[in-house]
A and B are shown apart, each in its own frame.
Chain A
Amino acid sequence: MRGLEHRGLERAEGPIIIARRRETAGYGELVAVYGRDGARRMGKVVDSSDSAIAVQLFTTNTGLSLDETRIELLGGPLELRVGPDLLGRVFDGLGRPSDGYPEILSSDKRDVNGSPINPSARVYPRDFIQTGVSAIDGMNTLIRGQKLPIFSGNGLPHNRLAAQIVRQAKILSSGAREGADESFAIVFAGMGIKYDVARFFVDSFERSGVLSRVVMFQSLADSPTIERLVTPRCALTAAEYLAYDMGMHVLVVLTDMTNYCEALREVSASRGEVPSRKGYPGYLYSDLASLYERAGRIEGSAGSITQIPILSMPNDDISNPIPDLTGYITEGQIVLDRELFQRGAYPSIAVLPSLSRLMKDGIGEGMTRDDHKEVSSQLFAAYARTKSVRNLAAIIGEEELAPLDKKYLRFGERFESEFVSQGEDDDRSIGRTLDLGWRLLAVLPTEELVRASRAMIEKYLPKEDGDAGAERRPD
């Protein structure tokens, strides 16, 4: 019931406060909590019964006392005001303007929790996005409407890679090329990230001249932890508006999902819930899905939402619940590799554990090139073989290897230094990426290339030995 106030608390413990009920509160209803300092804190009802309500605060609980705290029921769920004016604005983690300008002019307010997309209303994503990064375009293609996270670790160049993707992403499919002025937008949600990281993204957007098309939601590291649970929901609500109401192609960068999950664990622990793995709540999967599934395309709308969530794997462990459950929901993953990075390689993408599930339908003739499937499959097979040859070489020494295995070693080295590695401003076309792949495969004897058909080998494999060929060919 809007506007009604309760005074007094039963208990305050971490982000959860319990109040005796006087009026009924709806489950999930937004509340404002005032302490003796008079400051307004936002929260939502997480349990409502005849006798009491439990409220989860989005902000700090410091200064709340049992007697003097007032709770005001706001009558509905947390909403975000949406409109075309969102573009170019900066908001805090709860969706309030933080750039010094007033609220946007719009009466259109949306529930930040969203609603699930009806699977029969989805349009299957199949437009290839050229990111200009060979390890992604060639091997783990990004598709418009996909959710493709970057699994990284502390200190790895995930932010630089994400910024490069945002800078270089473009659509090649024939239909889109005609209407080159398709409108796009970037929604950025920073959860618990440091100020410098937020600054880095702003600078990068500014440098590529897209800042006026960016909507930022920032809950920085010094903001209350719990606020992070709301930040991505605000960002995705803005993205849904831009994509499905305005028909824009929206790229959403969510960073860092690990901070989000930790906030979720904190709330769950303070509610005394039974934990599952590593203390995370049993509903972590469903909760993450409620974010990641808000990507895609729907019938009757020209727009799309492509998500690039970034998460840092605690201790580089991919079996940690956060990357593990994320990988089960998202349509693939780009994994960064510390060993490659330490050897000075950028973007240090570990090609083998990376995956794009939507790649199969977005590549090939008419979309990228007719040889794409085969050359990528062959590169995967050859590079996997390289890895096992390396293990062998570590034991018996390179000198003892059979001639074929030595060729695999050579292939692997060149694959990592020429194909996987590239400059931060190196924007490679898909044709260049695939040609490069063939040139590297030429290092191996042709009879090893069983994943590629004879026709494609005939058409694309350079005749001269790959090592003898020119290192770089202009496009």
Chain B
Amino acid sequence: MSARPSPPEVIRGRITRVSGPVVLAEGLGGAGLFDVAEVGEARLAGEIIRVDGGGATIQVYEENTGMRPGESVLSLGKPLSLSLGPGLIGTIYDGIQRPLERLKESSGSFIRAGVRGERLPLDRMWAFAPALGPGDEIGPGTLVGRVRETELVEHRVIAPPGTVPCKVSRSVPAGEYTLRDTVLETEAGESLTLAQEWPARRARPSRKRLPPNEPLMTGLRVIDLLFPLSKGGCAAIPGGFGTGKTMAQHAIAKFCDADIIVYVGCGERGNEMTDVLTEFPKLVDPRTGRSIMERTILIANTSNMPVAAREVSIYTGITLAEYYRDMGYDVAVMADSTSRWAEALRELSGRLEEMPAEEGFPAYLPTRLAEFYERGGRVETLGGRSGSISIIGAVSPPGGDFSEPVTQHTKRFIRCFWALDRDLANARHYPAISWIDSYSEYAEELREWWDRKDPAWKDLRAQALDLMKREQRLEQIVRLIGPDALPDEQRLILVTAEMVKNGFLQQSSFDDVDKYCVPEKQILILHTIMEFHRRAEEAIKAGVPLTEIVAMPARERLSRLKSEVANDRIEEIRAAEREMAAAFDGLARVYSREEAT
């Protein structure tokens, strides 16, 4: 990394107490905070989280049953670092970047403590095309060369942030190289390979922040049109169990238009990660026609894996994301679930006997959350490229109650809130994103982009949100007096709102047509439904009874457009709109004649 740090100093200590994943040791007075340690005879991975008077407290990332006082501890004198380089994409790691596939090959179906595997394939040959030659300037973030990592991803080898600015003294010709080979040497005496290391807990630097004014298109209508997220934005999806957090995260990971996806399964189910592992390779990216696994990295620290590693897994995920951001890519990080991460903090804090704040969570919970979400954003990288990290964090509030500390503190640091609603989920209305409780502050920043793309967006969005708010108010009255007591104009609002719900907001991830919806189709569907509303209002003013409007066959068609019209045949939506307009014209003729007679 930085200019040749002195070789790290290894310090040997001795365990004095074992209490679950928290271990006390003596003789480690010289160790630094957050230095990596090898704990016990099994040399389990750990991290020093507290030092006082010669003693140190260590959290152990692996199952440490059987560990006893008297065993030795080695402090390696450097922070927990990740290996970054080609070979990351398509790999599944655990929270401390152990490659799970390779562990399976070496130690079977169950994860045992103390087993290791190469984080990156050290012997694989990569076709490297250099971008620099002797005499060229090099500094932090300079493009060194290119490697085709997968069909979808060109791996841009960039000089690490600590590179001393100077000139290249030697570089290799284009050809096949492994991660062990030096591909470039500088006049300052540094030699670079295709890989580099970076501490997980430290944010990788960038030159400056850019405004998040470009949308992250997810293909989900309720998000893209109503509650949009920017590239570089941060969103939270809170919801009780069974409301579809993971399903929503999967849907976004599959179809959003980011270049790289980092999916962090933090304290969640093993089968969900298996689902990703089996399903993603089969799914084709609608934009590139390649398997979406070719742009995805998975971090899996499932709920039954050691709790300390769960705490780090979030940082591991975001560091990998920053590495690809620095290449100039738009990266989306799914963190599922940040509540499990917060609970890991709570559990470790409890074992350290710290004074708890709210609901047993440590007082530094909001600080940690802020640090995490602030690593998202759109930036100009050290090399002058523009890249972004969008963070989508799932929150699992106990009892589905959003007033709990993790949801509340998260809300302070995100600007897009997709609240999942229990009643919608019970009716299997997915994505169960509530149109009443959700919000997106990015809508303002994205207006300009949409004005260029389709100026209708902002009006449609405002109309739809307004309609749904009016429906909610009316529902309160309906609950008392029934819908029949309302005048036709107001009942029409209920009818249209129902059409918006069924025909626009609800979206099935299992329907081949409906699972991904291009922006043009999204706009057209919503436009057609709002046009229906406008025409129906006029018709009612002209004396047409609502029952006649509701009975129009052209109306029923509108609720099915989402699944009957494929993304590449959206002119059929215009046809449906014309059909509807003709039906209204017909009604208008009948009723104007009746009036005349």
Interface residues of A, Cβ cutoff 8 Å to B: 21, 24-29, 46-50, 76-77, 111, 113-125, 145, 244, 273-277, 281-283, 285-286, 289-290, 293-294, 296, 298-301, 319-321, 324-325, 327-329, 331-333, 352-353, 355, 357-358, 360-361, 373, 377, 380-381, 384-385, 391-392, 395-396, 400-402, 447, 450-451, 453-454
Contacts and interface: CB of A to CB of B under 8 A. Distances in A.
Contacts of B305: 116
A244 B110 CA distance: 11
A118 B399 contact: no
Contact of B303 (A49, A111, A329, A373): A329
A329 B269 contact: yes
Contact of A328 (B70, B271, B396, B481): B396
Given A117-B109, A124-B278, A293-B302, A275 B347 contact: no
Contacts of B10: none
A414 B572 CA distance: 39
B148 interface: no
Chain B interface helix/strand/loop/mixed: mixed
A380 B427 contact: yes
- Indicate the member of B240, B304, B479 with the most A CB atoms within 10 Å: B304
A33 to B, nearest CB: 19
A282 B398 CA distance: 12
Given A27-B64, A48-B69, 7 more contacts: A27-B68, A119-B300, A123-B274, A281-B350, A332-B242, A373-B510, A395-B479
Contacts of A355: 242
Contact of A285 (B69, B269, B340, B350): B340
Contacts of A300: 109
B271 A50 contact: no
B134 interface: no
Q: Which of A28, A77, A294, A385 has the largest count of B CB atoms less than 10 A from its CB? A: A28
A121 B65 contact: no
The 5 closest A-B CB pairs, nearest first, are A319-B399, A289-B303, A384-B427, A49-B17, A28-B65
Contact of B559 (A118, A244, A299, A450): A450
Given A49-B17, A299-B109, A319-B401, A118 B103 contact: yes
A460 to B, nearest CB: 18
B286 interface: no
Q: Is the interface of A mostly helix, strand, loop or mixed?
A: mixed
Contact of A392 (B110, B112, B278, B482): B482
Interface residues of B, number: 76
Contact of A120 (B18, B104, B303, B350): B104
A327 B242 contact: yes
B277 A274 contact: no
Interface in B102-130: 103-104, 108-112
Contacts of A121: 104, 108-110
Given A50-B16, A447-B556, A450-B502, A402 B484 contact: yes
Nearest to A285: B343
B426 A353 contact: yes
A401 B482 contact: yes
A395 B426 CA distance: 23
14 contacts: A49-B17, A116-B63, A118-B103, A120-B274, A122-B273, A273-B350, A274-B356, A293-B303, A294-B304, A301-B109, A324-B399, A333-B241, A392-B478, A392-B479
Nearest to B337: A328
B66 interface: yes
Contacts of A381: 427-429
